[in-house]
Chains A and B, each alone.
Chain A
């Protein structure tokens, strides 16, 4: 099984800050990685697929990078609506999610 490890588990940042979340895979997954945002009590929402492709309708302040085993999700200027939990997901071999990163607005 491919394990996905995210860091940090929680982060608190101010509006306008640049925020970076890291996701590491236990083996190479090429660029078969997605990022999702989930708000409390809601279903997850796809942000990024194929490591760096922005899903239609997602604000351009979200970006993804990486390949192989190391990936990052960056929010260039944090907005009040960006609170929630972010999950990475590998889909190179079946599917595995990271444990999540909770983003709080200071």
Chain B
């Protein structure tokens, strides 16, 4: 009965590189949410996906950020050409339905040098 898995737990990138963050939802969960927590700030919604579909990406920056949740495999949050301001903890949450409790993964801490 594994929980939400995220990897890597820590990721260091230099400015201009790409960061790929992975999220495997709990078994039976088809709804995935990505949230970002900037240093000393609260959590902010980024994107909501349901298998193969982006439902709501209103919290995601328009440039350099993309997300997917393919039919097979984990959800991926991709950040191209990272900048120092992207340094943050990125949390994934999953739920069985749109109205169920969301269960959070351990987060990926991205540091951009």
Does B associate with A?
A: no
Q: Which residues of A contact B (CB under 8 A)?
A: none
Q: Which residues of B contact A (CB under 8 A)?
A: none
